[in-house]
Structure formats: C-alpha cells, structure tokens
Structure 1
C-alpha cells in the first residue's frame, strides 16, 4: 500500500471510531440476543476496564505511546496505523470527556469500541511482523 492509502485508512478508521461513539453511545440494542449488543459503558481505565480512575496518567501514557509506536515500528505501517487509531481515538475521549466511551458488548467480554478493536488487531499485526523478522 502507498503511504497515502495508510493516511486515508487512518482518517477513515478514526472517523468511524468517533462517529460510532457519537451515534451509539447511551443506546441499548440487542443485535443477536445477549451475545452481541450495543451497551454503553464509561471506562476511566484501560482495556477491558482495568485500572480505573487514573485518567490523567492514561493521557500522559497515551501521548508517549503515540510517539514510541511511530518511532519503533514505522516500517510496519498497517500495524502502526491501527494502533495509532486505537490510542488517538480513546485519547480524544479521555481529554474531552474524562472517560472512554465503550459500547460494543460481546457475550461476557467487557465492552469495547472501534478504537479498542483497531488497537488489538494492530498489536497482533506488529507482533506477527516482529516474530517473522526473527
């Protein structure tokens, strides 16, 4: 992929994250019974609701992570774009709302959002490339 396609991918996924949070947060919808649902939660912690209540710490860590991910992994653009969307999408929430808007519920898994999904997939892609290099 050319670099401009990665830029558009970044913009599109970040927009998708923010638009879905805006449209679906504070909605309750069962999509497939209780297995897949729209179910809002306010997360002041990190992934899966861990370490709640340290918003300013997560803002600082997020800012540092944005730089480190780019510096350390920029040759793996797909993984970097996904991780950066995850970090920045949730950072926007933390700065402006004081919490992250999670709304996707899958079975007994903690609620998450598009940014979380991008971040998780991006980390797996980066791990794959790093393992493949060895």
Structure 2
C-alpha cells in the first residue's frame, strides 16, 4: 500500500482558502469537509486539510497557532511533472493572492526547479521538479 500524506494548515477563512486551493488545481473532497474544514486533494496520495483556527486548535491543545505570515514552521515540498508546471502553479498562486518567490541555488533548471508558494495565511508549499536519472 502506498503512503498517503495529509498536511494540516490553519486558515482564517476556510471558504477563501478553499477557492485559492481549487484555483491551484486541488479538488475539494466534500466527504471530509464541513464549515470549518476543507479536504483539498492534489492526487490519490497528497491532501491538504484546511482547518479554521478553532478547528486546528482542537488538534493542538495548549499550543499557540503560528502566524505563518511572520514565522515559518514547515515547508511542504511536492513533485510536479515539469519546471513549466511549477512555474504555472506559482503564476496562478501569485495571481490569486499568494506570495511566490524563488530561492536561487547553484542547481541548473534543467536538473531541478522549485518555488516557495505561500497561501493566503502564509502556509508554504514548495512545488518542485527534478530530472529523473
């Protein structure tokens, strides 16, 4: 059996965040969504759970939710089919309120390309592509 990854992100407005992620190409799974939670599906192995703060807090009792617009708590990298697909993902995110930037490395784009993509709440995804040997 393959591993499934569920990333949980705290969000201030689950409806606005759902629209943002749908625009990026995720689809909503209504079976695991409600007024406080959206289950966003990238593929059969990768899911992003958008949890309004009060719902997120349920899973992290006695801990403060980080303001990811000011701090960084985690970077979630996932592979895409090409450098062009990564660039398009970043373009769509930027056009829809996300913050997108590229970290310059010494690695040639013909071998690897990635971006830092922050959603409306500063949660960071790292779409990336790597050449296969």
**Fold conserved (TM > 0.5)?**
no
**TM-score, length-scaled by structure 1:** 0.27
| Larger RCO, structures 1/2 (Cα 8 Å, 6+ apart) | 1
Structure with greater proportional strand content: 2
Structure with greater proportional helix content: 1
